[in-house]
Amino acid sequence: MIDQIVVDARDLTRVFGTSPPRTAIEGVDLRVHSAEFVAVFGPSGSGKSTLLSIVGGLDTGYRGTATLLGRDLAAMSDRELSRLRGAHVGFVFQAFHLLDHLSVLDNVLVPSLFHPRSASMDDAREALRKVGLHDRMSDPTTALSGGQRQRVAIARAIAHRPALLICDEPTGNLDADTAAQIIDIFTSLNRDDGATVLCATHDTRIAEAASRTIELRDGRVVAAEVSP
């Protein structure tokens, strides 16, 4: 596999509000290469979600520079950012954001309604197989447990084979055993499929599973290390 810089962010600063202003992150650098599993680790309020929103093209109100797949995010229009996300980024959040009136399979296919380059039916079925839900495709999501619903959300995020999988506290709503299953899925996607995973978390088990960990506190990087 050819090594590629997927994310390259330099001196990122994001300030919210004016009276008084609140600095979410300040002077943060982040570089993610293809096939890495990077955990952005830190307590609630440390700036993890803000950082992921910027490098994922969701938040444009920052200072500094951020490129995704070599493209300068600040130079892109909202439509261009939407196309970039739809074609190359998969998102997994703490909340599952599923449509309960749709089946498991249809939930995975929802992005294809908005982005022509999103997953096909075969892609969606393969993604559900990877997360162990190939036998629940026709079920309503309301019939699933919390861990299974998160697996549907992961399948939706990976079905179009994104260049970057961004996960924001993906185990935050799950019990310990279910969270361990989700972590195993991310590890397998990275190890077996070469998926590039960038995960914000306060879960030490995700940090231990990642190939590299960046620790944020009060909006600044305080430590960066390679996991064993």
Rounded Cα–Cα distance for residues 52 and 83 (Å): 18
pLDDT tens profile 139-185: 999 999 999 999 999 999 999 999 999 999 999 989 999 999 999 99
Any long-range contacts for 183-186 (C-beta under 8 Å, 24+ apart)?
A: 183/209, 185/130, 185/131, 185/132, 185/151, 185/154, 186/37, 186/154
Neighbours of 24 (CB within 10 A): 23
pLDDT at 119: 81
Residue 46 has pLDDT above 60, yes or no: yes
Rounded Cα–Cα distance for residues 43 and 13 (Å): 18
Neighbours of 152 (CB within 10 A): 25
pLDDT at 3: 77
Spatial neighbors of 203 by CB under 8 A, at least 6 apart, are 169, 171, 172, 179, 183
Task: Using alpha carbons, select from 34, 29, 23 the residue that is nearest to residue 1.
Answer: 34
Domain 5-226, what fold?
Rossmann fold (3.40.50)
Where are the chain's structural domains?
5-226
Task: Give the predicted TM-score (pTM) of the model.
Answer: 0.94
Distances (CA, A) of 206 to 14, 65, 138, 148: 25, 27, 31, 18
pLDDT tens profile 204-227: 999 999 999 999 999 999 988 765
Neighbours of 141 (CB within 10 A): 20
pLDDT at 112: 86
Distances (CA, A) of 190 to 34, 36, 37, 170, 223: 10, 7, 7, 15, 23
